[in-house]
Structure 1
């Protein structure tokens, strides 16, 4: 039996694109024969992909696609940032976004079942990526917005994706507002979208922070003081009330009004939001993997 060295495992990994643990096992199963190990990995790759699917994938990319009044965002997750930055991973993410757009899929389950250009479904193409890359890859989320008016997508570093749809205005304005949403992440679009419970809570807080001297003022004056504070807070948590990132001398609402536009819909995805990340000791994993 040929000795299974780190160099041999590295060579098999480079040739196959499979994970190190898979390469080591393939060599052990095939008595160190690298050619047989390559064939072994090709035959068993998809089966291994199912096992990797239980591992936490909290890194990845947001991909976008748009055409003919339709826009989509898709989140594709990987286990490590290293994989997320690889060109082939981006190509796969872009291909899934393109499938999402053209297939008309309304949710991620429909997207996974849709046909992928590489053959088979998106889910099968994802398993092929898992076998090749050696990490868990997940098509986690997608969002679609349709609009007859201006529609724009914006990606920030591949980690934040935004769609903005407008009534009136221009695609340039929609793009600018999408950039604003990526940067500021306003919880609400307009004042009327802010929950009454939130406003009531903020009123209680504003009242509790007032001095006895202020509280002694006439009711109408007191109401004006509290309303002023609430209006400021509402502006901070609404898209239209925030200073526009492309021109902080005006609010987003001012920029919309200037073009006679209104916001119809907004969507924002951030890679890994809501996923509990697991801290891995990769050095220990490598050392353990090389113990024969």
Structure 2
């Protein structure tokens, strides 16, 4: 049996763009023959899928799955919004979200988990769909929340199909009160998170580096006033409080009643629910956020096709 080295696997991956494990399997199947391994990957459709994998996938869907007091959130990307409206793609995203409940949102485990009742993994299923639909697709991220004594509520914005859309939120609320009423409050908080995009639950859990960077900017702005240091410090603290109102969930004006903060709205709901309410976690996915999209000159693309280049 031929010895398959890491360099051989890397070379094959560079030639075909296929995954590392697929390249290793191809070399093993063909006794280390590089050209035969390339043909093997092409025959399996893996090289074709890998070629598509070089294209930017920034469209797609956010999917949510809930079961009991657990919920999972996934983002699966495609190249175009047209594919996001494909029934096969929607079914796949829904199944991936359900599977994410079992893997607690761990993307690496999710990719290797069995897809539904089939023998194939989630990663293999997505790769097959790339070949059949003809667009690059990627499982970008996943998140999970559970609540021991409470609920995990969810909300999908720009819904395309049940539990599928362009913005998805899951939020965990703990309380000993009525679970149905707590879920209704949780859904309102999830809607707020979708609209206001907070960065943390409270000030204490806000990224310290983010706070220090904001403090430095505010201090520099305040110094331009020419006021003494003790006044500048007070100016900075006042502006930081305003900043917290923008980025901290409990300090934000509640979108359904801007006269109250989210914390005030939760406190007002406690009597009706029958117990204190505590937000223990949330995740918000907006489709394609943070993905660099290649600039596209449509006229140039049409001209290139027409000229056969």
TM-score bucket of the superposed structures, by smaller chain: 0.7 to 0.9
Q: Distance in 2 between matches of 1:175 and 1:46?
A: 42
2:73 is matched with which residue?
73
Q: Distance in 2 between matches of 1:153 and 1:235?
A: 23
Find out whether 1:52 has 2:52 as its counterpart: yes
**Is the 1:45–1:132 contact (alpha carbons within 8 Å) kept by the matching residues of 2?**
no
1:271 is matched with which residue?
287
Deviation of the 1:49 alpha carbon: 2.0
- Measured at CA, do residues 95 and 181 of structure 1 come closer, stay the same or move farther in structure 2, by a change above 3 Å? same
Q: After TM superposition, list the pairs within 5 Å mapping 1:253-292 onto structure 2.
A: 253-258=263-268, 259=270, 260-281=276-297, 284=301, 288=305
Q: For each residue in 1:106-146, what CA deviation from the matched residue of structure 2 results, as whole angstroms up to 9, or x when unmatched?
A: 41121111111363111111122112211011111111111
2:99 is matched with which residue?
99
Q: After TM superposition, list the pairs within 5 Å mapping 1:36-47 onto structure 2.
A: 45=45, 47=47
**Is the 1:235–1:242 contact (alpha carbons within 8 Å) kept by the matching residues of 2?**
yes
2:82 is matched with which residue?
82
1:184 is matched with which residue?
196
1:161 is matched with which residue?
168
Find out whether 1:236 has 2:243 as its counterpart: no
Give me the TM-score of the superposition, normalised by structure 2: 0.70
Secondary structure of the equivalent of 2:265? Answer: helix
Q: For each residue in 1:7-42, what CA deviation from the matched residue of structure 2 results, as whole angstroms up to 9, or x when unmatched?
A: xxxxxxxxxxxxxxxxxxxxxxxxxxxxxxxxxxxx
1:208 is matched with which residue?
223
- Measured at CA, do residues 60 and 289 of structure 1 come closer, stay the same or move farther in structure 2, by a change above 3 Å? farther
Structure 2 gaps, min length 5: 1-42, 159-164, 271-275
Q: Distance in 1 between matches of 2:90 and 2:173?
A: 29
- Measured at CA, do residues 208 and 86 of structure 1 come closer, stay the same or move farther in structure 2, by a change above 3 Å? same
- More deviation in 122-131 or 281-290? 281-290
- Measured at CA, do residues 209 and 177 of structure 1 come closer, stay the same or move farther in structure 2, by a change above 3 Å? farther
Give me the TM-score of the superposition, normalised by structure 1: 0.73
Secondary structure of the equivalent of 2:141? Answer: strand
Q: Distance in 1 between matches of 2:98 and 2:303?
A: 36
Deviation of the 1:47 alpha carbon: 4.8
**Is the 1:167–1:261 contact (alpha carbons within 8 Å) kept by the matching residues of 2?**
yes
- Equivalent residue pairs, number: 244
Q: Distance in 2 between matches of 1:118 and 1:287?
A: 44
**Is the 1:162–1:181 contact (alpha carbons within 8 Å) kept by the matching residues of 2?**
yes
- Measured at CA, do residues 222 and 250 of structure 1 come closer, stay the same or move farther in structure 2, by a change above 3 Å? same
Q: Distance in 2 between matches of 1:115 and 1:244?
A: 41
Q: Distance in 2 between matches of 1:142 and 1:153?
A: 14
Q: Distance in 2 between matches of 1:68 and 1:200?
A: 42
Deviation of the 1:285 alpha carbon: 5.8
Q: Which has the higher contact order (CA 8 A, sep 6+)?
A: 1
Q: For each residue in 1:89-118, what CA deviation from the matched residue of structure 2 results, as whole angstroms up to 9, or x when unmatched?
A: 2222111111222x3354112111111136
1:63 is matched with which residue?
63
